[in-house]
Structure 1
Amino acid sequence: MKTLRSHAVGGPETLTLDEVAVPEPGPGQVRVAVRACAINFPDTIIIRDMYQMKPPRPFAPGGELAGVIEAVGDGVTDWHVGDRVIASTGFGGLAEKVVVDTRQLFAMPAGASFETGASLFLTYGTTIHGLKDRGHLKAGDTLLVLGAAGGVGISAIELGKANGARVVAAVSSEQKAAFARQCGADETVIYGRPPFDKEQSKALAEAFKAACGPGGANVIFDIVGGDYSEPALRSIAWEGRFLVVGFPAGIARLPLNLTLLKSCDVCGVFWGAFAAREPARNAAHIKELFALLKDGKINPRISARYPLEQGAEAIRVLQDREAVGKVVVTMGDQS
């Protein structure tokens, strides 16, 4: 079988398409024939050894996938050959076949495509955990989303609207702003590329304040970090919640006096650790996401599809912030 693997620290150009033996499931495991694997920000940094998780090499990136069970290991009774499943694996998904622990499996929602199934967990799972458990978002709140045109950003727009919030989407181009509005954003802010000098940072803060309104943003969903974070924090409401979700633009340095002046909270959002530590609460979130998907209130926007042979290019597109919506690598029969 084919798999796209990292043999040395580096960018997507270092990945190689390898031919390896088909893995056999052990006790409590199943083998999944992968049909779709979503590409996410962790895939761009795990191959550079910059992620919290550092798998032994060689390994395949790809942390969430959907496919069909084709073999089960000893002791597996709740899953069967032919079941359509979604798996959250952390890595290993860019392969034609993957062995997965049954604790990492969820049944595919009825009627959902493999592409949709593979695009749910890391994006929407991160966001529902962040907005519900960390941000305590409620109807009538103003939600500011940075990096709003990517997969996680679109999930924040949709889940924000589903929970009755007013959503301000911050993006880097008019094309992305139009896409964010199409996905439900009430207001958009277009920002430039960092680094920002003092005046540029102040101007961006004023743009955020104007879009959020006089009350400020009750919840800020910061997916990008870097020079964008401080201007966003300056637009926060009294007792607002600033959610640290990711930092493709770099790790931000926040002046903590702002947290005192606004009596606000700065909260980390680490969905993978939450899911591992509190599987029952995570399962409840996933159940809620499936219901929202069925009702049409969320819908992963697949903007680009690549075959496994071009998986490195899929990672590069996300790394270079060219993606609008979700990027997915597809394999095999999609029916």
Structure 2
Amino acid sequence: MAVILQFDRFGGPEVLRFRDVAVPPPGPGEVRYRVEAFALNRGDLFWMEDRYYSSPALPARIGQEAFGVVEAVGDDVAGFAIGDRVCSLVQDDGRYCVNGTFAITPARYLAHWTGEDDPAAGCAIWSQALTAYYPMVELSRVGEGSIVLVTAGSSTSGNGAIQMAKLCGARVIATSRTLDKRDFLLGLGADAVVATDGLDLAAQVGAITGGRGVDLVYDTVAGPMMPRYFDCLAPGARIYIVGALSDDLALSGPILPLIRAGASITGFSVFNHNRLDAPFDRAKRFVGQAIADGRLRPVIDRIFPFEEAIEAYRYLSSGAQRGKVVVQL
């Protein structure tokens, strides 16, 4: 028998339960592994509340990022063997959630772990790295001379975006509601940090860039945040909406600043790009090599034991973390 984390009604962390289940064999194209650590994501909370990319079929397991050791390999699987250390990569198929003592994942959504021998680290980097890779490398070619604005820089998605933009050679401006997290964000590589509570975001960014503006906005907040940066866009700027941390998700704002800048707005989901074989393969190679070289690193706020996994979700929902929340078995 094994134990998984599951819910049978929608709501917050209070709906989660530990459940004993039999361990099935992996099917064709699948790999089963013993989970040693898993990471929590804001998307997990949306999944529990039925306001995510896809809708859960109840009862539903939870979680998309785990690190483990391969125990069994299904037919038609190449490249993985019993004993391999693996990381699960995000997908939108609820049949393959991973939080528990074991997980089964299609082989194409696994990566060999190339970093240090640390289960917590192994589960805490791939999601935000892949999410940032596509807008900055595949879609926009961020490089030397680029200026990138990352909203909610202290979120896990923001953490990954700051590191990816710096890896590409860009100058990075990160936002935070206050300057309490300024030193943390500068430590991640941000070149400047601007506060958003009660302050003019566009004016601050304009001052930092000498009126030039930003080439790319990596927006994890959306909603009312968006028009606040419309007046600090460089010509041809690209805005990627990669998250929805705002409670108000209506898209509204002045159009003229976008027209003047010739800016574009793209709703982005890593799930859509991970389905495409060639870009997904390039992303896995790029991120895997950057992890192996130490150029991308996990940022872990706190590690909980497995028996406190539900409490870990309560902590995540508080928004107090700076980095990834991890459960280690």
TM-score of the aligned structures, taking structure 2 as reference length: 0.92
Alignment partner, residue 305 of structure 2: 307
Query: Pick from 238, 256, 269: which aligns with 2:235?
Result: 238
The offset of 1:173, in angstroms, is: 3.2
Q: Within the alignment, does 1:273 sit opposite 2:272 as a pair?
A: yes
Native 8 Å contact 1:243 1:269 kept in 2 = yes
Q: Matched residues in 2 for 1:78 and 1:298: separation?
A: 24
Q: Matched residues in 2 for 1:77 and 1:132: separation?
A: 28
Q: Deviations over 1:243-285 (max 9, x none)?
A: 1111111324233332112111112221111111x12211212
Number of matched pairs: 322
Native 8 Å contact 2:195 2:201 kept in 1 = no
Q: Deviations over 1:289-321 (max 9, x none)?
A: 122222222111111111232223323333332
Query: Pick from 155, 163, 170: which aligns with 2:168?
Result: 163
Alignment partner, residue 206 of structure 1: 203
Q: Matched residues in 2 for 1:166 and 1:77: separation?
A: 40
Q: Within the alignment, does 1:215 sit opposite 2:226 as a pair?
A: no
The offset of 1:80, in angstroms, is: 1.7
Q: Matched residues in 2 for 1:176 and 1:103: separation?
A: 37
Q: 1:311 to 1:34 in 2, by over 3 A?
A: same
Report which stretch shifted further, 213-222 or 129-138.
Answer: 129-138
Query: SS at 1:116's partner residue?
Result: helix
Alignment partner, residue 224 of structure 2: 227
Q: 1:93 to 1:219 in 2, by over 3 A?
A: same
Query: SS at 1:300's partner residue?
Result: coil
Native 8 Å contact 1:172 1:191 kept in 2 = yes
Matches within 5 A, 1:4-153: 4-88=5-89, 90=91, 91=94, 92-109=97-114, 111-153=116-158
Native 8 Å contact 2:179 2:193 kept in 1 = no
Q: 1:77 to 1:159 in 2, by over 3 A?
A: closer
Q: Matched residues in 1 for 2:318 and 2:131: separation?
A: 21
The offset of 1:133, in angstroms, is: 2.5
Query: SS at 2:190's partner residue?
Result: coil
Q: Matched residues in 2 for 1:188 and 1:141: separation?
A: 17
The offset of 1:218, in angstroms, is: 1.0
Q: Matched residues in 2 for 1:235 and 1:112: separation?
A: 43
Q: 1:320 to 1:212 in 2, by over 3 A?
A: farther
Native 8 Å contact 1:3 1:60 kept in 2 = yes
The offset of 1:77, in angstroms, is: 4.8
Counterpart amino acid of residue 171 in structure 1: S
Q: Matched residues in 1 for 2:260 and 2:78: separation?
A: 56
Query: SS at 2:11's partner residue?
Result: coil
Query: SS at 2:326's partner residue?
Result: strand
The offset of 1:112, in angstroms, is: 4.7
The offset of 1:89, in angstroms, is: 5.1
Native 8 Å contact 1:143 1:219 kept in 2 = yes
Counterpart amino acid of residue 220 in structure 1: V
What RMSD in Å do the two structures reach over aligned CA positions?
A: 1.8
The offset of 1:132, in angstroms, is: 1.7
Alignment partner, residue 280 of structure 2: 282
Q: Deviations over 1:161-187 (max 9, x none)?
A: 111111111112333211000111111
Q: Matched residues in 1 for 2:315 and 2:139: separation?
A: 30
Alignment partner, residue 327 of structure 1: 325
Q: Deviations over 1:155-208 (max 9, x none)?
A: 11111111111111111233321100011111111222xxxxxxx57x233223
Counterpart amino acid of residue 299 in structure 2: R
Alignment partner, residue 260 of structure 1: 259
Counterpart amino acid of residue 120 in structure 1: I
- Unaligned segments of structure 1, at least 5 residues: 193-199
Q: Deviations over 1:206-261 (max 9, x none)?
A: 22322343100111110111222211222111111111111111324233332112
Q: Deviations over 1:56-82 (max 9, x none)?
A: 111221112110111223344532211
Q: Matched residues in 1 for 2:19 and 2:174: separation?
A: 40
Query: SS at 2:303's partner residue?
Result: strand
Query: Pick from 298, 302, 321: which aligns with 2:296?
Result: 298
Query: Pick from 175, 190, 194: which aligns with 1:189?
Result: 194
Q: 1:157 to 1:112 in 2, by over 3 A?
A: farther
TM-score of the aligned structures, taking structure 1 as reference length: 0.90
Q: 1:206 to 1:271 in 2, by over 3 A?
A: same
